[in-house]
Amino acid sequence: MLKTIRNTFIAAFLISSTVLCFAQSNYPSKPIRWLVPYPAGGGSDFLARTISQELSGLVSQTVLIDNKPGGNTAIAAAETAHATPDGYTILSADNGTMVNNPVLYKNLSYDPVKELMPITLMGKFPMILIVGPSFDVKSLAEFIAKVKSTPGGLNFGSAGAGSPHHLAMELVKVETGLNMTHVPYKGASPALQDLAGGHIPAMMVDLAAGAGFIKSGKVKALAVANSSRLAQLPDVPTFAELGYKNIEAAAYVGLVAPSGTPSDVVSYLQKQVSVVINQPAVNKKLTDFGIEPIGNTPQQYQTLLRSETSKWQKLIKDLNISLD
């Protein structure tokens, strides 16, 4: 009797394993749903749509972009984390999703470490300190001096509380000893409009969102929070050049899947996305938009996440920043 049960169990296991292997070897056999935790039209959306268009042809399946904004990316992240781990639900994840949210919220609806699996880092959005036309400064030194000489300090805008833009300016405040008050907006676009209109004096922005305002002269770029100058803004120095080597900040947008997604599916997706990113036309399109294309391995992406977690979670805790 026990032998019969054992043989039945083994047979069932072999059948299920064969079916699973067959399913994986035929991946993808249906459309892939790609969640973007921001509204259409932003930098993350542009990155996902640019890559997905070419990816669809490469994998011979439709890749559907599904915009699910809200909760500082937590709504889309939770939906992805709790989806079937079969490679048919993937997510664009940034610093907020993978690094900041666990310490910004006391009760987060997902666990990025346990429930989301890195596939590849798609792009880097370096942060830039910009000021509006009504804020008459021409350099970082003048900016710092003016803020320090203003009783009570000044306001600064951001794309939202807990966003990479917000935390980048908090880092600037800590490293330069500035007194500034945060004014959060629902996205970079309305913040930029108010900056250009003179309603707020300064903010940190990524080039993808702010390039049009910077190049048209509506706002002025003072310093780049990157290890090197940006090719699109060759005359704008880095913070390190100006004596602030610890001020480096960027929005890192990667591709993740639910934990438990088969390793061969993750490997397949990483290779195909990397192929797309390295296509000359796609690479140029992303670079021109203000994104530094990457397309690294899951292990390299995971290493970056650990480094970013150590840096930004400490800052958030030290400043007692919360979104609850």
Q: 150: which 2 tokens?
A: 């203003």
Q: How far apart are CA 255 and CA 277, in angstroms?
A: 12
d(CA 211, CA 229): 15
157 or 43, higher pLDDT:
157
Per cent of the chain over pLDDT 70 is 92
Mean pLDDT, residues 118-146 taken together: 96
pLDDT, position 18? 41
Amino acid at residue number 75: I
d(CA 130, CA 51): 29
Query: Could you tell me if residue 275 is left (phi over 0), alpha (psi between -120 and 50 degrees) or otherwise beta?
Result: alpha
Arithmetic mean of pLDDT, 138-153: 94
Tell me the mean pLDDT in the region 103-109. Answer: 94
Q: Is the pLDDT confidence value at 322 over 50? A: yes
Residue 147, pLDDT above cutoff 50 = yes
The mean per-residue pLDDT over the stretch 225-244 comes to: 95
Cα–chain center distance at 156:
21
List pLDDT tens digits, range 277-318: 999 999 999 999 989 999 999 999 999 999 999 999 999 999
How far is residue 324's CA from residue 154's CA, in Å, rounded to a whole number?
25
Bridge partner residues of 130 (DSSP): 203, 221
Q: Are 165 and 204 in contact (CB under 8 A)?
A: yes
User: For residues 268 and 254, what is the distance between their CA atoms, to the nearest angstrom?
Assistant: 15
The mean predicted confidence, pLDDT, of the chain is: 91
Answer whether residue 227 shows pLDDT above 70.
yes
Band of residue 8 on the pLDDT scale cut at 50, 70, 90: very low
For residue 138, CA distances in Å to 36, 144, 211, 222, 292 come to 37, 11, 18, 7, 27
Residue with tokens 């973007």: 36
8 Å CB contact between 120 and 207: no
Buried-exposed string 192-225: b where 16+ CB fall within 10 A, e elsewhere: bebbbeeebbbbbbbbbbbbebbeeebbbbbbbb
Looking at residue 25, what is its pLDDT?
65
What is the distance between the alpha carbons of residues 46 and 281, in angstroms, rounded to a whole number? 15
pLDDT tens, position by position, 210-223: 999 999 999 999 99
pLDDT at 5: 41
Whether the CB-CB separation of 41 and 289 falls below 8 Å is answered with no
Domains of the chain: 30-124+252-319 (3.40.190.150), 126-224 (3.40.190.10)
Q: Residues 61-74: pLDDT tens digits?
A: 999 999 999 888 99
* pLDDT computed for residue 230 by the predictor: 94
Which amino acid, 14?
L
